[in-house]
Amino acid sequence: MKIVLLGTSSAVPTLTRGLSSTALIREGDVFLFDCGEGTQLQLMRSSVKRSRIHSIFIGHLHGDHLYGIAGLLSTLHLDGREAPLNVFGPEGLRVFLNAAFRTSDFKFTFKLTVQEFPRGYRGRVLDENEFYVDELPLDHSIFCLGWRFQEKDKPGVFNLERAEELEIPRGPLYGKLQHGEAITLANGRSITPDMVLGPPRHGKSVVYCLDTQFTERSIQLADKCTALVHETTFGPDAVDMARERKHSTMEDAARVAHEAHAENLIATHFSSRYDGRQIAQICDQARGVFERITLGRDLLEIDI
């Protein structure tokens, strides 16, 4: 999988940082997390193909995460898109989109499904053959959802040599073992899948927590994830401001990554009060709490 940071600024764009949007690419499909103003331009500057957008996840309805979606959907319509598109987000998202598109008397070329989650909802929002997406409410100044994109585990690699040694006839019995079923051979010997399969291949996971102050729920959502994309709006000089506005400092995010045993933390959503040099300094300090921080910047691509 690959993560592409499309915008890494909080609240307002700067000349070098666009508003929040992050693309996750898996086997060519694009999953877009948030869609701040300017996202469609950033998509054009990146390697991400907008025609391959599978779903869009909007975590909360603050403008810096939302105002780009109407323009992007309009462009997908003008592209002549035919594939259906799912948009997931908190209650209120449909009202926003309806207002935008009714005002413009807009009719889509493709089927747009908007799925809203009320405050009490926690759990699975999408479940496909090879992956699923879960959500959990975070702790921000308005209702905000965090997302976990999780690849499902795959069975271990089939050991052909071992199967031949065990005299398992080629054919459907191989398939049964690969699907976790025990079999009995004509000679009466029973074979269990672990006798011919390597260890299961664990699926990778990406967790997206924007915007939120430090909360146990981020730790729960990010449990042992491959990559945690977490907001890091402020540095140690603005802890009070972070608490007041229900945002995180870089150190808060590092603590979440540490306590969740995440493999990597990707820092994004920086206040415009800091320039790149200051953000790098803030990041160096936070590495005392959690070492493996990738400092985000616009259009950075991260293989995971």
Phi/psi of residue 279, nearest 5 degrees: -65, -40
Cβ distance to Zn ion smaller for residue 39 or 150: 39
> Of 4-12, 39-47, 131-139, 281-289, which segment contacts Zn ion by CB under 5 A?
4-12
Interface of this chain with Zn ion, residues 41 to 80, rule: CB under 5 A: 62, 64
| Minimum distance, C-beta of residue 65 to Zn ion, in the bound complex (Å) | 5
211 binds Zn ion (CB under 5 A): yes
Q: Which of 148, 137, 139, 279 is nearest to 214 (CA)?
A: 139
- The answer to whether the CB of 17 falls within 8 A of the CB of 9 is yes
64 is catalytic: yes
Cβ distance to Zn ion smaller for residue 81 or 135: 135
* Integer Cα distance of 255 and 262 in angstroms: 10
> Of 23-31, 72-80, 206-214, 274-282, which segment contacts Zn ion by CB under 5 A?
206-214
| Minimum distance, C-beta of residue 142 to Zn ion, in the bound complex (Å) | 7
Using DSSP bridges, classify how beta strands 112-117 and 190-191 pair: parallel, antiparallel or unpaired: unpaired
Cβ distance to Zn ion smaller for residue 226 or 233: 233
Please identify which residue in the block is written with the tokens 């608490």. Answer: 243
| Minimum distance, C-beta of residue 246 to Zn ion, in the bound complex (Å) | 8
- Considering CB under 5 A, how many residues would be counted as binding Zn ion? 4
* Integer Cα distance of 133 and 257 in angstroms: 19
| Minimum distance, C-beta of residue 234 to Zn ion, in the bound complex (Å) | 12
* Integer Cα distance of 181 and 171 in angstroms: 14
- Selected catalytic residue, list 64, 134, 211, 252: 64
246 binds Zn ion (CB under 5 A): no
Cβ distance to Zn ion smaller for residue 10 or 249: 10
> Helix (H, G, I), strand (E, B), or coil: what is residue 258?
helix
Cβ distance to Zn ion smaller for residue 37 or 211: 211
- The answer to whether the CB of 3 falls within 8 A of the CB of 266 is yes
> Of 22-30, 117-125, 207-215, 281-289, which segment contacts Zn ion by CB under 5 A?
207-215
Using DSSP bridges, classify how beta strands 29-33 and 21-26 pair: parallel, antiparallel or unpaired: antiparallel
Strand ranges inside the chain, DSSP E: 2-7, 21-26, 29-33, 53-57, 85-90, 112-117, 123-127, 131-137, 145-151, 183-184, 190-191, 205-209, 227-231, 264-268, 293-295, 301-303
| Minimum distance, C-beta of residue 36 to Zn ion, in the bound complex (Å) | 8
Give the interface with Zn ion as residue ranges (CB under 5 A): 10, 62, 64, 211
Residues annotated catalytic, as ranges = 64
